[in-house]
């Protein structure tokens, strides 16, 4: 790929220091058909949605477990306070 310096534009703004020649089409790999790319995007989207849902389920399960532990701890603390005040 040959690099060619960019000349000043008509409005005197410099776009970039260099631009590649137009021979990229020779070395570039052919693109897959649009249908194949769309199917791949759809598969990736479905996978992302499933990962998001699984993450939500894991968070919900962890929250329920921690809530149960907290309630058990509070119940144990309340019962120990009640037994101390009854003495």
pLDDT tens string 41-65: 999 999 999 999 999 999 999 999 9
How far, in Å, CA of 16 to CA of 24, rounded? 18
How far, in Å, CA of 46 to CA of 65, rounded? 29
Q: 5 pLDDT exceeds 90? A: no
What pLDDT is attached to residue 29? 76
How far, in Å, CA of 48 to CA of 42, rounded? 10
Range of the domain at 62: 3-85
Could you give the number of structural domains in the chain?
1
Q: 83 pLDDT exceeds 90? A: no
Q: 73 pLDDT exceeds 70? A: yes
């Amino acid at each position: 790929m040959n690099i060619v310096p960019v000349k000043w534009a008509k409005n005197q703004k410099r776009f970039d220091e260099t631009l590649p020649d137009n021979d990229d089409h020779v070395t570039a790999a052919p693109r897959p058909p649009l249908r194949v790319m769309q199917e791949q995007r759809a598969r990736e989207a479905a996978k992302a949605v499933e990962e998001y849902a699984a993450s939500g389920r894991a968070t919900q399960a962890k929250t329920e477990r921690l809530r149960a532990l907290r309630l058990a701890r509070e119940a144990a603390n309340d019962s120990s306070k009640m037994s101390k005040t009854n003495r």
